[in-house]
Amino acid sequence: MEEVIIVGAGPCGISAAVELKKAGIPALVIEKHCIVNSIYLYPTHLQFFSTPDLLEIGDIPFTTPSDKPSRQEALFYYRNVARHFDLNIRSYEEVTSIRKKDGHFVVTSVNRGGRQIETEAKHVVISTGYFDTPNLLGIPGEELPKVTHYYREAHPYTNMKVAIIGGNNSAIDAALDLMRVGAEVTVVYRQEQMSPSIKPWVRPIFESMVAKGHIRMLYASRVVRIDDLTVTVDTNGSQTVLDNDFVLALTGFRPDRTLMIESGVELQGEHLKPLYDPETMESNVPGLYVAGVIASGHNANEIFIETGRKHGVAIARHIASKGHTDLSS
C-alpha cells in the first residue's frame, strides 16, 4: 500500500511530492499526460508574469538570466526538480476514480495501454489543475477542426484569416504574434473596452496596431456561429459574416471537479470551492487533500503556481503529524 498518492504532476503536485519526500513520506504521483502538462501547453514562446523565485519549489533555485522566465526554462526547471528528488511519477496514466475502503483509499487508473490498475493508499492528494477543460462557447461549429482553445505559435496561421475570441492577455499576445506572420487578425471581445488586466507594456503596442489597421478589434461583440469558411459575429444585435480560416477561442479554462466530487468532497459558496481546511488542505473526506488551482472552485485566477506551491508544505506537515514524523530538521 502506498503512503500517499498524488493525482496530477503539475508544479503544485510536484511541490507536494517534494515536501512529502523531504518529510520522509513516500508518495506516488499519477499524471494522465506529461509532467507539468499545463506549462507544456502554453504558447511556445511564452514568458511568465512571475519572477523566477515565485515559481521555485523544494528550495531548489530557479536560475535564469531574464527577469521573467520562459516556458522552456520552466519545463527544464520542473523536470530537473523531479529528477533531483527522484520522484516516483507514473505519466500517461489517468485516474478515473478514488474511493474509500476499510479506512484507506483505492485509486483506479488506466494506463496508456488501456489496462486498469487499482492502487491502495492511506492518503490521496488531488492536484489536477484546470488546463484540460476550456470554457466552451456553446455555439454551432465550435467542434470544427479549424477551432482550438489552445494557442501555441503563429507560424501555422501565416497569411490566414484568423478570428480570436477573447480579450485578455492570451488573446492580445496571440493577436500580435499572428499579425507579425502576416495573418489577417480579427479580435472579437464581448466587453465594451479593453480589459484593465492587459500587461501595461503590451497595451500601447496593441492599441497602436489596431489604430493603424493591422489588427481588427470588435468590442461588444461575440461569435455566434462558426462555419467552414466563415464566422458570424453579433455586435450589439447586428450580425456580420466574416471570411475565416481559423478560430482561436481563448476564453479561459476551469477546473474539472468530477473526480473530486465523486470522491465525496463537498462544494461550497458561489464559486463552488471544495470544502477543505486551509491550514492543512485536508478536505471534508479525512485523508483526502486538495492542492493547487483545484482548490479555487470556479475562480481559477484565485490560485497560481506562486501560491499553490505552498499547499504541499501544509499537506506534508499534516500527514507527518499523524505519524509523528519530525519536520523540524
C-alpha cell at 302: 484565485
For residue 79, the Cα-to-chain-centroid distance in whole angstroms is 17
Instruction: Identify the CATH number of the domain in which residue 216 sits.
Output: 3.50.50.60
Among candidate residues 116, 121, 104, 125, the one with its CA nearest the CA of residue 1: 121
- Same domain for 172 and 152: yes
Q: Are 222 and 234 in contact (CB under 8 A)?
A: yes
- Model confidence at 329, pLDDT cuts 50, 70, 90, reads very low
| DSSP single-letter state for residue 20 | H
Pick the range with the lowest mean pLDDT from 71-80, 131-140, 181-190, 210-219.
Answer: 131-140
Confidence band of 299 (pLDDT split at 50, 70, 90):
low
- The tally of domains found in the chain comes to 2
Question: What is the residue type of 61?
Answer: P
Would the pLDDT of 59 be above 70?
Answer: yes
Task: Indicate whether 142 belongs to any domain.
Answer: no
Instruction: Write down which residue in 218, 249, 280 finishes a domain.
Output: 249
Residue 101 lies in a domain: yes
The DSSP code sequence of 264-299 is: T--EETTTTEE-B-TTT-BBSSTTEEE-GGGGGTT-
**Interatomic CA distance for residues 137 and 140, integer angstroms:** 9
pLDDT at site 10: 94
Q: What integer is the mean pLDDT of 85-113?
A: 96
pLDDT at 81 over 80: yes
Question: Do 49 and 122 fall into the same domain?
Answer: yes
Lowest mean pLDDT among 132-136, 147-151, 176-180, 232-236: 132-136
| Lowest-pLDDT choice from 18-22, 270-274, 298-302, 314-318 | 298-302
* Alpha-carbon dihedral sign for residues 236, 250, 132, 276: negative
Other Cβ atoms closer than 10 A to 30: 25
Domain-terminating residue out of 249, 270, 292 = 249
Q: 300 and 267: one domain?
A: yes
123 in the same domain as 8: yes
Helix and strand totals (H; E) in the chain:
8, 17
Contacts of 318 (CB under 8 A, 6+ apart): 279, 280, 281, 282, 289
Instruction: Check whether residue 19 and residue 64 sit in a common domain.
Output: yes
**Of 181, 153, 155, 151, which is closest to residue 165 (Cα–Cα)?**
151
Among 231, 249, 267, the domain-final residue is 249
Give CA–CA dist 227/225, Å, rounded: 7
Task: Check residue 157 and report its DSSP letter.
Answer: G
Q: Is residue 328 part of a domain?
A: no
Q: Within a domain: residue 169?
A: yes
The label of the residue with cell 467542434 reads 143
State residue 325's pLDDT score. Answer: 45
Q: What average pLDDT does this structure show over 40-52? A: 89
Instruction: Identify whether residues 187 and 269 lie together within a single domain.
Output: no
Percent of the chain with pLDDT over 70: 96
Whole-number Å distance between alpha carbons of 315 and 322: 11
For 206-266, the DSSP string reads HHHHHHTTSEEEE-SEEEEEE-SSEEEEEETTEEEEEE-SEEEE---B----HHHHHTT--
pLDDT the model gives residue 304: 63
Q: How confident is the model at residue 47 (pLDDT cuts 50, 70, 90)?
A: confident
Predicted local distance difference test score (pLDDT) of residue 252: 87
Residues 67 and 105 in one domain: yes
Q: Specify if 139 maps to a domain.
A: no
> Residues with Cβ < 8 Å from 317, sequence gap 6 or more?
23, 280, 327
Task: Kindly state whether residue 90 falls inside one of the protein's structural domains.
Answer: yes
Does 30 have pLDDT greater than 50? yes
202 pLDDT tier (thresholds 50, 70, 90) = very high
Given a cut of 60, is residue 239 above it in pLDDT? yes
**What domain range includes position 163?**
147-249
- Chain-centroid distance of CA 111 in Å reads 22
Residues 245 and 260 in one domain: no
Please tell me the predicted confidence (pLDDT) of residue 255.
80
Same domain, 181 and 257: no
Q: 74 with 192, same domain?
A: no
Specify whether 169 is located in the same domain as 240: yes
User: 329 in a domain, yes or no?
Assistant: no
Say how far apart CA 25 and CA 115 lie, in whole Å: 28
Q: How confident is the model at residue 326 (pLDDT cuts 50, 70, 90)?
A: very low
Residues 160 and 125 occupy one common structural domain: no
pTM of the model: 0.88
pLDDT of 298: 58
pLDDT over threshold 90, residue 190:
yes
How confident is the model over 175-192, as a mean pLDDT? 97
Return phi, psi of residue 240, to 5°: -130, 135
pLDDT at 50: 83
Distance CA 282, CA 124 (A): 10
Q: Would residue 141 count as lying in a domain?
A: no
